[in-house]
């Protein structure tokens, strides 16, 4: 998603980014292009109008024209405004109620409700450690019920199957009893979809809503439908007290209009984004991260999350304590770090998400690929304990032995030792008080 929008807004802003001076004419021209880009991405017209007028008000005011770096300041205003129309902060799910807390999913057929029900269950089980039960009330499509039952089995969630011929509202009632008996924290209720919004469908969903009193009523909508997504969300919003939206198929080539319009048009936050067909392809929706993705600044925060989830925290803490005590950074520590990098799929896999990563020369990432890291680890493994503790003892003949042991050339051993010395220097700086802060400043 956002590819076209990101490219267009990116190139428009690139032209003004470095400018030390901006005139009202420059700003007018830039805003005209941003407006075109938003319209082409199928953002709802009232949202585009509001967006442009807010940016304009701030852009011709003190904030941008009088700023020392007007180009950058304009980019920041556009960024802030993107974040604002998507709802500022991440909106978590509400669990403040007596368990089982109910999450009701509604939406049109094919939007991805059933898949999202399973994804959400998996997310709640893994990230929130909740016990989850699922039920489908889509009696007109037995295949949909079966699909959810299969997915529930796959992820290990409870599933309530009602006797054939049970009415949807009754199924929901029975599922509540089932979830209570199972001591489930959460019951996710999937409802029937139709190709179009109709009276009967709305009545059915309203009845189910009244029966289970959900804490969350989420509208599931396909991102590919653009600003229509916001329109159908608004229609459902009139019939049901929606608490949020799940935007599906955000992995496809949707132009982004749905993500940018839903909040403004309906007043409801997007809480999750579906990014694939599998049950693990669900991401919490963070407006600020999505905005930086659109502006081509890379998704640095998601990257940080990913790194944090994969880094061995215990080892990292141990190293931190060691450095604080002023103890040296050894080749063993270096090996640990290399191995952690490998766990993350190599630096190459992470580079994609970094700002400006698209601009790296081809092959740059391969310097950090899996094979290189494995070779470095093998070199360290061929050293004796003493050599790892005190690399200074590694003379020519030892280097030859290490190279032979790990199947590399002596120059590879030299290269590794040099990299280690550099890492050691950096660690020394970080270990000093305030060193980390200084280093981060240096990187900005």
CA 102-104-107 angle, 5° bins: 175
Q: Does 155 bind ligand GDP (CB under 6 A)?
A: no
Q: Does 348 bind ligand GDP (CB under 6 A)?
A: no
Instruction: Choose among 177, 180, 179, 207: nearest CA to 192.
Output: 207
Nearest approach, Cβ of 131 to ligand GDP (angstroms)?
23
Name which of 254 and 323 has its Cβ closer to ligand GDP.
254
C-alpha to C-alpha distance for 394 and 426, rounded to whole angstroms: 22
Question: In the set 248, 266, 292, 372, which binds ligand GDP (CB under 6 A)?
Answer: 248
Question: In the set 46, 97, 110, 267, which binds ligand GDP (CB under 6 A)?
Answer: 110
Return the exposure string of 46-79: e unless at least 16 CB atoms fall within 10 Å of the residue's CB, then b: ebbeebbebbbebbbeeebbebeebbbbbbbbbb
Name which of 87 and 193 has its Cβ closer to ligand GDP.
193
Q: Which residue is nearest to ligand GDP (CB)?
A: 274
C-alpha to C-alpha distance for 28 and 213, rounded to whole angstroms: 50
**150 marked as part of a ligand binding site:** no
Q: Does 8 bind ligand GDP (CB under 6 A)?
A: no
**Binding residues among 128-147 for ligand GDP as defined by CB under 6 A:** 144
Report DSSP letters for 297-348, one per residue: S--HHHHHHHHHHHS-HHHHHHHHHHHHTTPPPPHHHHHHHHHHHHHTTHHH
Q: Does 342 bind ligand GDP (CB under 6 A)?
A: no
Q: Does 211 bind ligand GDP (CB under 6 A)?
A: no
Q: How many CB atoms lie within 10 A of CB 351?
A: 17
C-alpha to C-alpha distance for 340 and 395, rounded to whole angstroms: 29
Nearest approach, Cβ of 302 to ligand GDP (angstroms)?
16
Return the exposure string of 289-322: e unless at least 16 CB atoms fall within 10 Å of the residue's CB, then b: bbbbbbbbbbbeebbeebeeeeeeeeeeeebeeb
Give the strand pairing for 216-222 and 244-248: parallel
Q: How many residues does the chain have?
A: 444
Nearest approach, Cβ of 175 to ligand GDP (angstroms)?
17
Peptide bond into 441 cis (omega under 30): no
Q: Does 114 bind ligand GDP (CB under 6 A)?
A: yes
Nearest approach, Cβ of 396 to ligand GDP (angstroms)?
57
Name which of 112 and 226 has its Cβ closer to ligand GDP.
112
**251 marked as part of a ligand binding site:** yes
**191 marked as part of a ligand binding site:** yes
Nearest approach, Cβ of 9 to ligand GDP (angstroms)?
24
Question: In the set 54, 94, 109, 340, which binds ligand GDP (CB under 6 A)?
Answer: 109
Quote the crossing angle between the two packed helices 45-59 and 70-86, to the nearest 10°: 150
Which region, judged by CB under 6 A, interacts with ligand GDP, from 15-23, 63-71, 269-277, 312-320?
269-277
Q: Does 149 bind ligand GDP (CB under 6 A)?
A: no
Nearest approach, Cβ of 1 to ligand GDP (angstroms)?
10
Q: Does 249 bind ligand GDP (CB under 6 A)?
A: yes
Q: Does 152 bind ligand GDP (CB under 6 A)?
A: no
**Binding residues among 168-197 for ligand GDP as defined by CB under 6 A:** 193
SS3 383: coil
Q: Are 414 and 379 in contact (CB under 8 A)?
A: no
Q: Does 224 bind ligand GDP (CB under 6 A)?
A: no
Instruction: Choose among 242, 276, 273: nearest CA to 260.
Output: 273
Q: What is the four-CA torsion angle of 107, 112, 114, 117, rounded to 10 degrees? A: -90
Annotated binding residues, written as ranges, equal: 107-114, 190-194, 248-251
Q: Interface residues with ligand GDP (CB under 6 A)?
A: 107, 109-115, 144, 193, 248-249, 251-252, 274-277, 281
Annotated binding residues for GTP, written as ranges, equal: 107-114, 190-194, 248-251
């Amino acid at each position: 998603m956002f590819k076209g929008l990101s490219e267009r807004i990116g190139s428009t802003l690139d032209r003004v980014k470095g400018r030390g001076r901006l005139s009202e004419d420059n700003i007018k021209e830039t805003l005209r292009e941003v407006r075109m880009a938003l319209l082409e991405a199928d953002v709802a017209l009232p949202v585009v109008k509001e967006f442009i007028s807010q940016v304009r008000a701030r852009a011709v005011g003190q904030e941008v024209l009088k700023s020392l770096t007007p180009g950058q300041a304009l980019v920041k205003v556009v960024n802030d405004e993107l974040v604002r129309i998507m709802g500022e902060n991440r909106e978590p799910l509400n669990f403040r109620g007596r368990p089982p807390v109910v999450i009701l999913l509604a939406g049109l057929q094919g939007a991805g409700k059933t898949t999202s029900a399973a994804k959400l269950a998996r997310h709640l089980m893994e990230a929130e450690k909740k016990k989850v039960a699922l039920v489908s009330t889509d009696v007109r499509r037995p295949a949909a019920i079966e699909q959810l039952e299969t997915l529930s089995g796959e992820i290990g969630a409870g599933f309530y199957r009602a006797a054939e011929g049970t009415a949807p509202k009754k199924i929901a009632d029975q599922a509540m009893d089932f979830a209570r008996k199972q001591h489930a924290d959460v019951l996710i209720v999937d409802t029937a979809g139709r190709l179009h919004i109709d009276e009967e469908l709305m009545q059915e969903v309203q009845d189910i809503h009244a029966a289970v009193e959900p804490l969350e009523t989420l509208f599931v909508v396909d991102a590919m439908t653009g600003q229509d997504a916001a329109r159908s969300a608004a229609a459902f919003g009139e019939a049901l007290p929606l608490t949020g939206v799940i935007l599906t198929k955000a992995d496809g080539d949707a132009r982004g209009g749905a993500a940018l319009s839903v909040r403004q048009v309906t007043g409801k936050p997007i809480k999750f984004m579906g990014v694939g067909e599998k049950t693990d392809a669900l991401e919490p929706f963070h407006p600020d991260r999505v905005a930086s993705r659109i502006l081509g600044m890379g998704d640095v925060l998601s990257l940080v999350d990913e790194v944090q989830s994969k880094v061995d925290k215990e080892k990292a803490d141990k190293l931190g304590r060691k450095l604080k005590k002023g103890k040296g950074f050894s080749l063993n520590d270096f090996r640990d770090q290399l191995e952690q990098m490998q766990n993350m799929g190599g630096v190459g896999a992470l580079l994609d998400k970094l700002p400006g990563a698209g601009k790296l020369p081809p092959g740059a990432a391969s310097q950090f690929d899996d094979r290189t890291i494995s070779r470095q680890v093998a070199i360290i493994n061929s050293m004796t304990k003493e050599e790892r503790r005190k690399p200074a003892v590694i003379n020519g003949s030892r280097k030859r032995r290490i190279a032979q042991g790990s199947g590399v050339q002596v120059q590879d051993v030299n290269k590794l030792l040099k990299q280690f010395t550099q890492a050691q220097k950096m660690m020394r700086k970080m270990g000093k008080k305030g060193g980390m802060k200084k280093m981060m400043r240096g990187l900005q």
